[in-house]
Structure 1
Amino acid sequence: MVLITSTMIACSLLLNIIALFIIYFINHRYVEAPIIKSESSRGKAHWAWSLLVIVINAWLCVVFLVAYVLFGAFIFGDWHAWIYYVVVPIVYIVYTIMVILLRNKGACCRWSLGVLGYLLAVQCWFIIQIPTMWSYTNLVWLVGIAASIPLMIKVAHSFGLRPIRKLLKNPKFYAAEVIALGIGILFTYLSAGSCVAVYNPVAPGWWIPLEGTLFWSSRLFRSFGSRPCPHGQRTPCHVYLTAAQNMSSGMFVNIHTSTAVKSIDVRYTSETGTDVLTGSITADYFEVPHLDERDQRNVYAAYLPDLLPDSVVTFTVVADGDEWPGNYTFKTAPLSGEVKFVIGGDAGTSEVVEEINSHIGGQSPLFAVNGGDVAYDNGMFPCACTWDQYLWEWSKVKTAEGHMIPLIFAIGNHDIGANDDNDGAINSFMDPRQCDNSKRENARPLYIAYFPFEEVNGKAAAICDRRVNHVHTAGTAVTLWSLDSMYAGGPLDAVKFVDQKMPSMQGQINHFAVYHVPMYSNSEVEKNAHNSMREYWPSMILDKYSFKVGFENHAHTFKRTMPMTNNSIANNGVVYVGDGKWDSSGRVGLTAVNNHNDVIDQLDNHDTLQWQLSRCLSA
């Protein structure tokens, strides 16, 4: 990520340097500053024009810097970033050519050249402070000093060419340099540990809305919120469940503790009727080394094996030999019979998510599925607080009997820090050949590090060995396939995974698939016709193995298709349901059709932008 951003900003610097030379050439070749005999000869018109030039250039500078932040720093590798890199020099060149035709030509060109010079210095500052922008360190002050040097050089240049002795005796020069140094260090601190997240207005600390649903925060701003795992805390920061492959007999208990805790044991009892099974499992520790000091914690996962089917499991947490207060319970799946589960996608953290979550427990689901873009951390370690907020909100979700609800995820673009067309960022995060948790640029994102779904030799798989395709069974009634919709590999990777696992699924009645990118979206934004998954998945997965439903997400709409086979409406085909509306904003329109494709009911919130939650949940 740092390499991609640095490369693109370096291209921006090159273009701005070219623009500087062009403006300089125009200024000296074609523009002659008006000769002013004395200060007293400068009239009101001159000062009014000079003020207008200052205002215009200041406004342009602010606009370009804001555009730089939005398009350059926060959209890694997307072609949208080039809007800024190309537009800034062009606009300044056009602006300079235009002022040739206006009065006070020399002053206008000097202001244009000067503002562009400061913009160039700011971009140099940005490149130098990048290492701390995405990774806070205790040396941020030193980086701030180094990043301030281009600003200080430009300030010195603004004083003009004069003898060094005279310049060193000028107190205004020292004051200006100190101010430039202070501004450089201050803004380095303000940007250090930056997080850019979507749909996270209630995450801890101060968050600045950038545009739409995009929020920005830095390490300094987040320090105004509560610390997720305070050092020395003798209670768990988070306790949550992730589903194992067989939910009738296994479950992952995940625990986050403060760094003062050295070991964790999970003592459990599985009970159904007169049958009782007890055991104790030492949780495995998984290092997540790139978290900010404020977010540091120990991450543990304990795989509970050989549980009794359709049983109530009660467990306690023992830390360093001391049993922590509180009992936790969950249910295992029955071997046969009805199974309830809830499913959605594109959540984040907000009051809407909390309200929707408040309706889940009353349904007493056995497990919950999120089809991607879970916490919207964009795969950024400084955004760990968004996962903390998500897990805090989820900890309040219990069934009517007080049982915890296990989680199953499918991978989405905002879980790994990529947009749909961002192959470079996707590869850098998810290429299995590059996984190295000791290096930030090759470390797995928190979506992978925090949530194990497969066991290897009775333990949670190592972080680098965790796959983004996994399958879960709840008795014979439900087989849920969580598939990667081309974020960590091509469409055939999921095909190979299903073909490999399907022989062991004999006797399973209902197969469901959950994935992020929809193949049949009702959103005009999604390019259904160009979705390469449609070339392979229906015929090679869903139609081939008679799946009942494909749960789709990503488009932030509601939809349900007619039964489909081979990309066409067909009886006894696969129904596709979606499309990721656990929290995202925007238009909601529901249309119900019968088997003859006649519309029998529809409702649209386009005018009011309001939606009755009860109808939303029952739709």
Structure 2
Amino acid sequence: MTHRFNLPRLFALGAILSGMALQAPPTLQAQEAFEPLGLNLTWQQDPTTTMTVDWHVSDPAEAAVLEFRPLGASEWVTTEPDETFPFPFSDRHIHRVELTGLEPGTDHEFRFGAESTVYRFQTLPADIVRTPVRLAMGGDVRTSRERMEQTGRVAMEYEPHAIVFGGDLAYVNGDPRRVAQWYEWFEVTRDVFQTADGRIVPVVVAIGNHEIWHTRRLDEEDLHLEAEWGLEEGQATFFMTIFPQPSGTSYRVLDAGDYLSLVLLDTDHLEMIAGAQTDWLEETLAARVDVPHVFPVYHQPAYPSVRSFGNSGSQRVREFWSPLFEEYGVRVAFENHDHAYKRTVPIRAGVEHPGGVVYIGDGAWGVGTREIGRDHDEPAWYLKRATDQRHFILATLHGPHQHFLMVNEDGAIIDEYPQVLTRPGAAAVVAGVEPADVILGERVLQLLPPMMVDVDAEVLEAWTGTYLLEAGDLTLPLEISMSPGGNLRVDLSVLGYPEVALFPLSEDHFVLDRTDSELRFVLGEDGRASGVEVTFEDGTVLAPRIGDEDR
């Protein structure tokens, strides 16, 4: 028995479908269900109670109906598109409907008439203390379909609730001659961005430079095409049409319940960084100081891993937006554009600071990667971790806690970043170190996403029991038990913490803090827990004393 259920679900589904195929009449076997040419789910309003569905058809009268119901319900609810409009520079059309008044954290089925394939979607939960939310973050999505799909398939193994892209989506450059790249993009969102149980994962997007049309992309003899297409320099016709733009601008905020705000920004593509957008950003952040998870998502990085630190776009982000991030308590900002992966040190006022903003990303979901520091005169002081690998970032939100796991296109973990939350509180004497030097109340155990690895239930069970941590002259009991949901729970009340749930990160490791400490379960050769230790940055160790009577 393991804690990853996607493969069993796949096997079970395959067995069911195989049995149906053997029993179905020949006429039903030959009948093909309707499938839209492209499919994209996203949100214009609160993701806990709404869902926007776009489906692409060749004829505007085709499949002009959507039916949906909560999973397990018997009756379908029928609705028509809110709008139907041409796919730009194409003979296709897009039906769009926004479903509202849905129940939070609920699976739904939907289809486009009785002859359609049946799909699924899920609203976000209202309470992320009980149900953590997982977001697959990235950018610079597709220079080849194969790369986009490869990273997407790995991301789906973690069953994210949503995908968030920070620009440079299909590398069409606003060019009508490349419309087929958009066709493929929406085939991937239909076929690949789907969990093992058939749930379509919604996609939220910000704009990048490769969404913009520039006249220079035409040869001189083809300049007449711009007028024929009705294009003008600097337009983003595809982006502004095929993705909902409820704000009417290329920047907006998407609020999920009272716990998450995705601030989707435009780094000098359609809208300038300075001016009206910065004024709006300050108002938006000021209104959300009580939201625990506020994530700015944008394209050009303030702190680039590849391009020059002094490039003009990065300078403007640092000048106009970084001070606002710092003033209004943003903890992590997601950047793209450089075709690499990076995580900075916490930065405040242009220098490393423990209370600063961490900038993560640099955009390499499905593109060729670039050499770290390619345009730097010297190693960048601000880079804590950087590598030229395609990847996505799994952001897990659990109550007020954040955890970021960076996974490359082959499924290998290349970085992780637990966020430290300040909670002044209990001190402890640790191996002779004075309380002023080790303040456990400033460290919070991170809640890690489930199903990150396959861990045998017997191994988890072996970790349960009472552990005695020797801390100087103190002996502290550490109670570990199994929760009803099959996760480990640790009672840290002796250290001033409430009971906290932990999810397995690997078979021998739990993160206690981002870099300066860790809680490690030591496994014996038989896979059973043989010890526990807490190690701090300075080498101080909370050593265990575990006997059979204590297990």
Q: Is the counterpart of residue 336 in structure 1 residue 127 in structure 2?
A: yes
More strand by share: 2
Q: Is the counterpart of residue 452 in structure 1 residue 244 in structure 2?
A: yes
Q: Which among 318, 335, 352 is matched to residue 534 of structure 1?
A: 318
Change (3 A) 1:531 1:615: same
Matching of residues 114-193 of structure 1 within 5 Å: none
Q: What residue number does 2:161 align with?
A: 366
Distance in 2 (alpha carbons) for counterparts of 1:383 and 1:555: 23
Paired residues of 2:334 and 2:360 also in contact (CA < 8 A) = yes
Matching of residues 523-562 of structure 1 within 5 Å: 523-525=306-308, 527-528=310-311, 531-540=315-324, 542-562=325-345
Q: Which among 554, 557, 563 is matched to residue 346 of structure 2?
A: 563
Q: Is the counterpart of residue 484 in structure 1 residue 275 in structure 2?
A: no
Q: Is the counterpart of residue 305 in structure 1 residue 100 in structure 2?
A: yes
Structure 1 letter corresponding to 2:45: Q
Change (3 A) 1:567 1:271: farther
Change (3 A) 1:300 1:572: same
Change (3 A) 1:604 1:379: closer
Structure 2 letter corresponding to 1:614: G
User: What SS is found at the alignment partner of 2:211?
Assistant: helix
Matching of residues 273-422 of structure 1 within 5 Å: 279-288=77-86, 291=89, 295-318=90-113, 323-337=114-128, 338-348=132-142, 349-395=144-190, 396-418=192-214
Paired residues of 1:380 and 1:445 also in contact (CA < 8 A) = no
User: What SS is found at the alignment partner of 1:280?
Assistant: strand
Q: What residue number does 1:269 align with?
A: 69
Query: Normalized against structure 2, the TM-score is what?
Result: 0.56
More displaced, 558-567 or 519-528? 519-528
Cα offset, 1:252, TM superposition: 0.7
User: What SS is found at the alignment partner of 1:393?
Assistant: helix
Distance in 2 (alpha carbons) for counterparts of 1:343 and 1:351: 18
User: What SS is found at the alignment partner of 2:133?
Assistant: coil
More displaced, 497-506 or 580-589? 497-506
Distance in 2 (alpha carbons) for counterparts of 1:245 and 1:484: 19
Change (3 A) 1:404 1:612: closer
Paired residues of 2:338 and 2:370 also in contact (CA < 8 A) = no
Post-superposition CA distance 1:137-174 (Å, at most 9, x none) = xxxxxxxxxxxxxxxxxxxxxxxxxxxxxxxxxxxxxx
Paired residues of 1:479 and 1:511 also in contact (CA < 8 A) = yes
Paired residues of 2:151 and 2:409 also in contact (CA < 8 A) = no
Structure 1 letter corresponding to 2:189: W
Distance in 1 (alpha carbons) for counterparts of 2:370 and 2:199: 35
Change (3 A) 1:510 1:560: same
Structure 1 letter corresponding to 2:81: A
Change (3 A) 1:260 1:469: closer
Q: What residue number does 2:292 align with?
A: 509
Paired residues of 2:42 and 2:51 also in contact (CA < 8 A) = yes
Structure 1 letter corresponding to 2:276: D
Distance in 2 (alpha carbons) for counterparts of 1:412 and 1:378: 10
Paired residues of 1:360 and 1:399 also in contact (CA < 8 A) = no
Distance in 2 (alpha carbons) for counterparts of 1:601 and 1:417: 34
Paired residues of 1:277 and 1:307 also in contact (CA < 8 A) = no
Post-superposition CA distance 1:189-241 (Å, at most 9, x none) = xxxxxxxxxxxxxxxxxxxxxxxxxxxxxxxxxxxxxxxxxxxx964211220
Change (3 A) 1:317 1:506: farther
User: What SS is found at the alignment partner of 2:354?
Assistant: coil
Distance in 2 (alpha carbons) for counterparts of 1:276 and 1:334: 23
User: What SS is found at the alignment partner of 1:340?
Assistant: strand
Distance in 2 (alpha carbons) for counterparts of 1:403 and 1:532: 39
Distance in 2 (alpha carbons) for counterparts of 1:289 and 1:252: 17
Cα offset, 1:356, TM superposition: 0.9
User: What SS is found at the alignment partner of 2:112?
Assistant: strand
Structure 2 letter corresponding to 1:408: V
Distance in 2 (alpha carbons) for counterparts of 1:282 and 1:603: 47
Q: What residue number does 1:519 align with?
A: 302
Change (3 A) 1:577 1:603: closer
Change (3 A) 1:553 1:262: same
Structure 1: which 5+ residue stretches go unaligned? 1-232, 423-435, 455-464, 591-596, 606-610
Query: Normalized against structure 1, the TM-score is what?
Result: 0.50
Change (3 A) 1:324 1:415: farther
Q: Which among 483, 490, 493 is matched to residue 276 of structure 2?
A: 493
RMSD over aligned Cα atoms = 3.4
Cα offset, 1:583, TM superposition: 2.1
Distance in 2 (alpha carbons) for counterparts of 1:277 and 1:521: 52
Paired residues of 2:342 and 2:384 also in contact (CA < 8 A) = no
Structure 2 letter corresponding to 1:328: Y
Paired residues of 1:347 and 1:581 also in contact (CA < 8 A) = yes
Structure 2 letter corresponding to 1:476: D
Distance in 1 (alpha carbons) for counterparts of 2:116 and 2:265: 38
Cα offset, 1:439, TM superposition: 3.8
Distance in 2 (alpha carbons) for counterparts of 1:237 and 1:612: 26
Q: Is the counterpart of residue 252 in structure 1 residue 52 in structure 2?
A: yes
Q: Which among 36, 40, 45 is matched to residue 240 of structure 1?
A: 40
Paired residues of 1:469 and 1:497 also in contact (CA < 8 A) = no
Paired residues of 2:211 and 2:236 also in contact (CA < 8 A) = no
Post-superposition CA distance 1:84-138 (Å, at most 9, x none) = xxxxxxxxxxxxxxxxxxxxxxxxxxxxxxxxxxxxxxxxxxxxxxxxxxxxxxx
Structure 2: which 5+ residue stretches go unaligned? 1-32, 218-226, 374-380, 390-407, 417-551
Cα offset, 1:281, TM superposition: 2.8
What is the identity percentage for the equivalent residue pairs of Structure 1 and Structure 2?
Answer: 25
User: What SS is found at the alignment partner of 2:151?
Assistant: helix
Change (3 A) 1:258 1:602: closer
Paired residues of 1:264 and 1:282 also in contact (CA < 8 A) = yes
Change (3 A) 1:389 1:332: same
Q: Which among 396, 412, 416 is matched to residue 615 of structure 1?
A: 412
The structure, 1 or 2, with the larger RCO (C-alpha pairs under 8 Å, 6+ apart) is 2
User: What SS is found at the alignment partner of 1:534?
Assistant: helix
Distance in 2 (alpha carbons) for counterparts of 1:547 and 1:308: 29
Distance in 2 (alpha carbons) for counterparts of 1:467 and 1:599: 33
Structure 1 letter corresponding to 2:242: Y
More helix by share: 1
Structure 1 letter corresponding to 2:202: P
Distance in 2 (alpha carbons) for counterparts of 1:486 and 1:389: 27
